[in-house]
Chain A
C-alpha cells in the first residue's frame, strides 16, 4: 500500500505534469527542427509565432463564447484551432514571401537568416501586443477535471489522490495523434519523402525534379499547424501571456538541440527529456521517501536537488552537457 501511494504521488506531481509539458515542448521543438532542417536557419521568432497562433484562437474563443457556441464538456478553444491554423499559415506565408524568401533565394548564410528572424520576432511581438495586449488571459472553459483527487481516493481507498486535468489529457492525446500523422506524412507519402530529400541534400533534390517552392510551402503549413496547436495547448493548460510564450522559446530550443536539431523524432523526444529533467530535478521528494523508506530512515529535509526557481536553468544545463559530449544531439541531427 505504501508503495502504491508513493507511485501515485510521483504520477500526480511529476509524471503527468511532465508528460503534458513535454508534449507542448515537443510540438514547438518539431517546429524549430523542421524550419532548421528545410529552411536552414534557427528561427528566433518561434515563441512569438506560437503566440500569434494562440492569439487568434483566444480572440475567436472569446467571440464564440459571446455567440453562445460551446463544445460541450471540451474547451471551446478546440473548435477555434482550425481557423487559428489558417490564420497562422497565412501570416507565416506572408512573412516568408516578404522577408525570408529573399535571403533564401540569395543563399545567405544561416546566421543572416537567424538575424532576420530576430527582426520578425520584434514585429510579431509588436503586432501581438498591439492587438491583444501583454496581459494574462485565461480562455479555458468546459469541464476542468477528468479525475478529481477526492474521487480517486474514494475509489481506491489510497492516501494519495490522483488528479487528471482535462487539459492534460487533451494535450497528451492531441500530441500523440498529431505527431503520428506527421511522421506518417514524412516517412510514407511522396511529398514527405521529397521534403526529407530536400533537407538532406538540396542540390540533389533539385536535380531529381523536386519543386523547392512546394517544399517550402508545405514546410510552412506543417509549421503553422504545429505552432498553433502547441501554443493553444500550452495556453489551455496554463494561461496565455505573450511574454511567457517568448520565454518558452528557450526550453523549446533546448529540446530541439538536445534531440539533435534537424531530426523531428529527436526533437519529439527532446521535449520530454527537457520536461522530465526540469520537473524531476526540482521536485521535493520528502513525501515520496516517507512512503517507501522504513520509519527510522524518514528524511527531515525537503530532498530537493534544486529549488524550483532553477527550473529553466536545469534544462539549459542539460543542453550545455549535451553540447559538450554529443554536439549533434542525442539522436544524430541534420537529417530529416
Chain B
C-alpha cells in the first residue's frame, strides 16, 4: 500500500484542482476540462505504451488522432445517396485497383530477385496505377463534391451510433500504423521521430483535402452524441423535478411564483449542460479504466517483461531469441490504435470534425510533454501527466492574467506594456508547458511518478 501513497496523493491533488475550478469558475468548465483530461489520458496511455514500454518515439500522434476523428465521421454521418449515385461506383473501383496494385507489388517483391529491373518495374506500376486511378476517380470526385456542397458534398458514412467509431478509429489507426511501422521502424530513434512526424502531416493533409471523404476544411458538424441533448433534457419532466429537488432549499426562499419559475429554468439549463458532460465523462472514464487495467496487466505479464528487456538492451534481447522487429511493430500498432480511439472520443465530445485544427503543436508535442512529465513507463504516471498538463494548458491563461494584473497593478490601465501583456496572456501556456518540461527533464527525468519494477528476490 505504501508504494501507492504518492500516486493516491497526486491524484487527490489533481481532483481537488478540478473541483476548485468548479467552485471558482463554473462546473461546466470544470467538466469540460475533466473530459479533455480523460481523452488526453487515453492518448498518453497510447504514447506511453510506445515510449515507456518499448522506447519507440512516435511523433505521429496527430495523424492517428485525425484518423480516429475520420472514423467518427464515417461511422456516424448518414450516407449521402445522391453522392453515392454520382460517383460511388468509381470510388469503389479505384479502391479495388489500389488494393490490387499493392498486392501486385508485394507479389513482385516476393517473386523477383532484388535488382534494378525490379525497382523500375515497381516504379512503373506505381506511376501507371496512379494515372489510372486519377483518370477513374477524378470526374467521380468532382461529381461527388458537386452534390449539395454547402451541406454534404461527400459520400457520408454509415449512420451508426458514434460509439462504434471508437473501435473503428482504433482499427483505422492500427491499419495505418502497420504500414508506417513497416516503413519507418528500422530507423534510428531520432530519425523515427522525424519520419513519423512527417508521415502524420501527410495523413492530415490527405484528410484535409480529400473533400469527398471527409468534407475536408469545410468541417463536419452535428455528429450525433451517444448521450442525451441539452434541449431534450430541458423538456423532460423527470429532469426538471430532479433539479427542483436538488435546489429545493434555495427555491423555497423565493416567494414570487414567476421569479421562481425563471430561476428554475436557468438552473435547468445549467444542470442539463452539466448532466450531458457528466454522462460523457462517465463513458470516457470507462474507457480509461478498461485501458488502464489492460495495460497494467500487459506491463506485468511475461510480454511486458520482454518489452522492457528489448527497450533496455535490444542487442541482448535479440541474442536471447526475442524477435525485436516483430515486437516493435506490434507495440507501434497497439499504441497507435489507442491514440486512434482517443481521436474518435475527442470528436464524439466536440460533436464536430475540423481537420484544419490538427496541428502537431497541440496533438503531438503536448501529448509528449504529458508522457514525460507524468512518468514514462508508468501508466498511472502517464495518465496523471495527461491531467496535469492539460489542466495547465487550459488554465494557464487565467493564471497568467492573474499574475500580470498582480505585478502590473501599480501601472495605469492604459499603459501600453500592460495592455500588451494582457493581450498575450494566452501564450503563457506555451511558456508554462515548455519550462515545465525543461525542469522535469532536468531534475526529475523519470517523471512525476517514476516507473517501478518489482524484482522478486530469491
Contact = CB atoms under 8 A, between A and B. Distances in A.
Given A111-B190, A130-B428, A119 B183 contact: no
Contacts of A116: 438, 441
Given A127-B431, A316-B202, A120 B191 contact: no
Contact of B193 (A42, A316, A319): A42
Given A253-B194, A312-B201, A317-B202, A123 B186 contact: no
B184 A323 contact: yes
Contact of A122 (B187, B191, B433, B445): B433
Interface of B: 57, 119, 183-184, 186-187, 189-191, 193-195, 197-199, 201-202, 205-206, 208-209, 361, 365, 368-369, 372, 421, 423-424, 427-435, 437-438, 441-442, 445
A66 interface: no
Nearest to A315: B198
Contacts of B427: 125-126, 129-130, 134
A302 to B, nearest CB: 10
A305 to B, nearest CB: 8
Contacts of B421: 130
Given A120-B434, A126-B434, A115 B372 contact: yes
Given A42-B194, A130-B424, A323-B191, A307 B209 contact: yes
B430 A122 contact: yes
A102 interface: yes
A250 B438 contact: no
Given A122-B369, A250-B201, A312-B201, 8 more contacts: A110-B189, A114-B57, A115-B368, A119-B434, A126-B434, A312-B205, A316-B198, A319-B195
Interface string A101-116: 0100000011110111
A118 interface: yes
Nearest to B209: A309
Interface of A: 41-42, 44, 99, 102, 109-112, 114-116, 118-127, 129-130, 133-134, 246, 250, 253-254, 257, 261, 307, 309-310, 312-313, 316-317, 319-320, 323-325, 327
Given A42-B193, A320-B195, A122 B431 contact: yes
12 contacts: A110-B189, A111-B57, A112-B441, A122-B435, A123-B431, A124-B434, A126-B427, A250-B198, A254-B198, A309-B209, A316-B198, A327-B186
A125 B430 contact: yes
Contact of B205 (A44, A110, A313): A313
Contacts of B183: 320, 323-324
A123 B430 contact: yes
Contacts of B199: 316, 320
Contacts of A316: 198-199, 201-202
B437 A313 contact: no
Nearest to A125: B430
Max count, chain B CB within 10 A of own CB: residue among A42, A134, A325: A42
Contacts of B186: 327
Contact of A119 (B184, B197, B437): B437
B160 to A, nearest CB: 30
B2 to A, nearest CB: 30
Contacts of A133: 423-424
Contacts of A109: 189
List the 9 shortest-distance A-B pairs measured between CB atoms, nearest first.
A122-B434, A126-B431, A126-B430, A123-B434, A129-B427, A119-B437, A316-B198, A309-B209, A119-B438
